[in-house]
Amino acid sequence: MKQFFIEQTTDKIGQEVELLGWVNSKRIHKNIVFLDLRDRSGIIQIVGDKSLSDLMPEDIIKISGTVKKREEKVVNPRLTTGKIEIEVKKITRLVKSTELPFDISKENLDLSLPVLLDHRPLTLRHPKIKTIFRVQETIIQTFRSTMKALDFVEFQAPTIVATATEGGAEVFPVKYFGHQAYLAQSPQFYKQIMVSIFEKVYTVAHAYRAEPSVTTRHLTEYVGLDVEMGFIQSWTEIMDTAEYLLKSIFNAVNTEHKKDLKLFNALIPNIPDSKIPRIKLQQAKQIIFETTGRDIRTEPDLDPQGEKDIWQWAKKEHNSDLVFVTHYPTKKRPMYTHPDPDMPDETLSFDLIGMGQEWITGGQRINDYKQLISNMEKWKCDPKDFETPYLQAFKYGMPPEGGFCLGLERITMNILGLANIRQATLFPRDIERIDVRLSTLQKGSKVNQTTNQQSVFDKIEKLLNNNNIAYEVSKHKPVFTSEEAAKARGTELKEGAKALVMFADKKPVMIVLTADKKADTKKLKSEYKFKDLRMATPEEVRIVTGVGIGAVPPFGNLFGIPLYVDSLLKENKKVSFNAGEHTKSITLSSQDYLRVAEATIGKFSAA
């Protein structure tokens, strides 16, 4: 008898099949036992007698039985196998599972992100979560096939390097046989070297950034889809290539994952029939000032809110979810970035902002050996540190060239509308985690030694300290309402930041208002297109944040959930909040709070 995958059984009505897989769930109805069997291709219902009642979720079983057509009244339209079931003839338990910490047979796993990641080998088995990485696989495959079709050559870059690629302190040092080495911040040097060999190259590379960031979009280890191309006649060819690649990826995902996109209520980002809009950074900052009133014209870069603002402008003016922002200042780009010949303080560089976040960074590189040496010296870098092998390639002739890097996790996150980049990462690494939560470890300890978990208050202090933000801590008697807290702190009620945990379309979100206001759910649903919105129960608040109602701080990024802040909060010079405890408050400037909170700003307080 031939063994089948579950998805292959739909046209086998009346035939006997053998299936292998995991018990997804079990239901007992009088003398009949129903099992949902899961393999990599899908889920199917198994019907048998009480001899199946000893089987438990995640037991691995082998069954043989006959494929039967279900009665019309019990068809399950949510499953591709919903019109059939297997009538068991023989069943064997191959592996017994231990008791699960939670039920993974639900349509949606309503778990906080830390819990989701603490049990990663189990939660990755959930069909919806597994789908994320099917989509990610398609993105990688399309990247490779597209670049190959454009006659680019793939190469593999080392990840242990002798010199920090981008400079700065955001590197992980490595002990290397008595010498100092580093984990690569990018494959940049090797991409450029390989251009002098194959002219057009690409690689799928892991990169490492020691950024002390607690945000919904940063990782310390990520995967870059890197491209570098030589003999360019104009630096705009690099943007043309990036645009062509993105269109190929969108087309592939839309073609191969229509059902998966529907599962996430996701739509492929919109690109106009003409080119993706391209604007200079200075233009972008002026547009933001004119459309929002926020003045960041003297800043050297777009802040997270600025990226969202310029996306909204691109949607309105160009019907595009993507926009190229070009000509970043020389001081904000690496030493190898080519300056604009007409504006030496600006560079021939760009970021691709996709759906309000940076997806791609790229530009033309300096290919002249002497100019590159001069730039290194301006950046206080010693050219001797880069002589082998990097500068050798330029010493012996490098063509005009440039390239870009597309963040794999970022594009996956944004296409599927995920709230946190860690959801788009199999085993995320960040300031808080290397498989286990670092807050459960003593400094310098091995990862299998645990101590008490770091408190929410400690996490807030770490976030503020890492971003060089001034703040005040006050201790007071236990307070449980905004009014009690304002009185204990000696602040005005409106200066309090009231953090509410809600569920929007079954996903946890955080809503923050000034403490003297209430949330208008109709405005929230209208502004952010939520279909269903409700307050979290006290138990759900504790599951999501680890603290009780009244102590939740206004930082969604600490808990891996989206944060929406009412615009009235910006009108206060300072903001105060309970910092994970009913007896501790933190006060800081509202501007600094918004800088680190990574919030979406809106108008949703009740009149």
Domain residue extents for the chain: 6-95, 127-424, 455-602
Would you tell me how many other CB atoms lie within 10 Å of the CB of residue 77? 7
Task: Render pLDDT for 248-301 as a digit per residue (tens, 0 to 9).
Answer: 999 999 999 999 999 999 999 999 988 999 999 999 999 999 999 989 999 999
Average pLDDT over residues 151-174: 87
Residue ranges of the alpha helices (H) in 399-554? 408-416, 456-466, 482-489, 521-528, 538-545
Q: Is the pLDDT of residue 185 over 60?
A: yes
Strands 322-326 and 349-354: antiparallel
Q: Do domains 6-95 and 127-424 have the same CATH topology?
A: no
Rounded distance, CA 321 to CA 314, Å? Answer: 7
Looking at per-residue pLDDT, the higher value among 440 and 376 belongs to 376
Give me the pLDDT at residue 438, please: 73
Could you tell me the two tokens for 564? 């929406």
Give me the pLDDT at residue 451, please: 32
Give me the pLDDT at residue 114, please: 87
Rounded distance, CA 40 to CA 22, Å? Answer: 10
Would you tell me how many other CB atoms lie within 10 Å of the CB of residue 155? 18
Cα end-to-end distance, the chain, whole Å: 69
Average pLDDT over residues 66-82: 94
Mean pLDDT of the chain: 92
Phi, psi for residue 211 in degrees, rounded to 5: -90, 120
Rounded distance, CA 421 to CA 123, Å? Answer: 16
Task: Render pLDDT for 398-424 as a digit per residue (tens, 0 to 9).
Answer: 999 999 999 999 999 999 999 899 999
Q: Is the pLDDT of residue 330 over 80?
A: yes
Could you tell me the two tokens for 90? 């023989």
What confidence tier does 169 reach under pLDDT thresholds 50, 70, 90?
low
What dotted CATH number matches 6-95?
2.40.50.140
Closest among 530, 527, 529 to 604, alpha carbons compared: 527
Q: Is the pLDDT of residue 146 over 90?
A: yes
Average pLDDT over residues 152-173: 86
Q: Is the pLDDT of residue 214 over 80?
A: no
Q: What is the DSSP secondary-structure string of 536-603?
A: PPHHHHHHHHSS-TT---S-GGGTT--EEEEGGGGGSSEEEEE-SSTTEEEEEEHHHHHHHHTPEEE-
Give me the pLDDT at residue 235, please: 98
Average pLDDT over residues 42-60: 96
Could you tell me the two tokens for 332? 């904000």
Could you tell me the two tokens for 64? 């043989």
Average pLDDT over residues 136-142: 99
Give me the pLDDT at residue 60, please: 98
Helix (H) or strand (E) holding 183: strand 179-183
Average pLDDT over residues 128-150: 98
Give me the pLDDT at residue 440, please: 61
Least-confidence region, from 81-85, 289-293, 319-323, 428-432: 428-432
Could you tell me the two tokens for 225? 């889809």
What confidence tier does 19 reach under pLDDT thresholds 50, 70, 90?
very high
Least-confidence region, from 155-159, 323-327, 545-549: 545-549
Give me the pLDDT at residue 168, please: 59
What confidence tier does 450 reach under pLDDT thresholds 50, 70, 90?
very low
Q: Is the pLDDT of residue 454 over 70?
A: no
Looking at per-residue pLDDT, the higher value among 162 and 445 belongs to 162
Q: With b meaning 16 or more CB within 10 Å and e meaning fewer, what string describes 45-70?
A: bbbbeeebeebebbbebebbbebeee
Q: With respect to CATH, is domain 455-602 assigned 3.90.960.10? A: yes
Burial of 142 (0-12, 13-18, 19+ CB in 10 A): buried
Give me the pLDDT at residue 347, please: 98
Give me the pLDDT at residue 455, please: 82
Q: How much of the chain exceeds pLDDT 90, in percent? A: 77
Least-confidence region, from 268-272, 427-431, 503-507, 581-585: 503-507
Average pLDDT over residues 300-328: 95
Q: What is the DSSP secondary-structure string of 108-171?
A: S----HHHHHHTHHHHTTSHHHHHHHHHHHHHHHHHHHHHHHTT-EE----SEESS-SS-SS--
Could you tell me the two tokens for 519? 């949330």
| Answer CATH for 127-424 from 3.20.20.70, 3.40.50.720, 3.40.630.30, 3.30.930.10 | 3.30.930.10
Average pLDDT over residues 328-346: 95
Average pLDDT over residues 294-323: 94
Rounded distance, CA 385 to CA 365, Å? Answer: 19
Could you tell me the two tokens for 207? 């990169």
Looking at per-residue pLDDT, the higher value among 439 and 172 belongs to 172
In sequence order, the 6+-apart residues with CB closer than 8 A to the CB of 145 are: none
Task: Render pLDDT for 471-500 as a digit per residue (tens, 0 to 9).
Answer: 999 999 898 889 999 999 989 999 999 999
Number of residues in the chain:
607
Q: Give the max Cα distance, the chain.
A: 84
